[in-house]
Amino acid sequence: MFEALASWLVYTMGGLSADTQAAQALHFFIMDTAKIFVMLILIIYIMGLLRAMLSPERVREFVRNQPKWLARTMAIFLGAITPFCSCSSVPLFIGFVEAGIPLGVTFSFLIASPMINEVAVVLLIGIVGFKVAAWYVLAGLVVAFVGGMVMESVKPER
């Protein structure tokens, strides 16, 4: 559907020949913009559904019953395994804040979520090899953990 619409827009409305670089670039732009909008709509609805189904009080009590280092570690690994970019991590972050989860823990999630991403890791393994990709993931984990500790030490809840 998007392919046909993009082709029609480029070749009919734009008056471009199909074999020119300008037509191909415009076609790529239209196709990717449409895909991104569909993905954003799906992610927004999924996040809304999760926020509606998951009780903030239950999450808060679960996190508050854990030691700070364990809660931060769980938030980092949740951020690392979720396939969200920062545009979908922010609504989750806001939900965590509204649920009363400590800001150090929520910032650890917010740092880890877009930084340690499955797609980026797979691409890194393919481009620079497993060793460098592993160092990247380790650095991301450390940055998220230390970032959460720094936020916690500032006591932003005040």
Q: Bigger pLDDT: 71 or 139? A: 139
Quote the pLDDT of residue 138.
92
Q: Give yes or no: residues 72 and 36 share one domain.
A: no
Q: Give yes or no: residues 95 and 147 share one domain.
A: yes
Q: Give yes or no: residues 136 and 119 share one domain.
A: yes
Instruction: Flag whether the pTM goes above 0.85.
Output: no
Quote the pLDDT of residue 139.
93
Tokens of 3: 């392919």
DSSP at 14 = S
Q: Give yes or no: residues 110 and 152 share one domain.
A: yes
Domains identified in the chain, total number: 2
Q: Give yes or no: residues 1 and 75 share one domain.
A: no
Last residue of a domain, one of 10, 37, 53: 53
Quote the pLDDT of residue 9.
58
Contact in structure between 9 and 30 (CB atoms under 8 Å): yes
Q: Give yes or no: residues 35 and 72 share one domain.
A: no
pLDDT tens per residue, range 106-158 = 888 888 888 887 777 888 888 888 999 899 999 999 999 999 899 888 877 66
% of the chain at pLDDT higher than 70:
77
**Alpha carbon distance 55, 62 (integer Å):** 11
Burial of 71 by CB count in 10 Å (0-12 exposed, 13-18 middle, 19+ buried)? buried
Quote the pLDDT of residue 86.
63
Quote the pLDDT of residue 6.
59
Burial track 79-117 (b if 16+ CB lie within 10 A, e otherwise): bbebebeeebbebbbebbbebebbbbbbbbbbbbbbbbb
pLDDT tens per residue, range 37-55 = 887 788 777 767 766 776 6
Q: Give yes or no: residues 49 and 78 share one domain.
A: no
Q: Give yes or no: residues 72 and 17 share one domain.
A: no
Q: Bigger pLDDT: 15 or 113? A: 113
Contact in structure between 59 and 46 (CB atoms under 8 Å): no
Quote the pLDDT of residue 2.
58
- Which range marks the domain in which residue 90 is found? 56-158
Q: Give yes or no: residues 134 and 110 share one domain.
A: yes
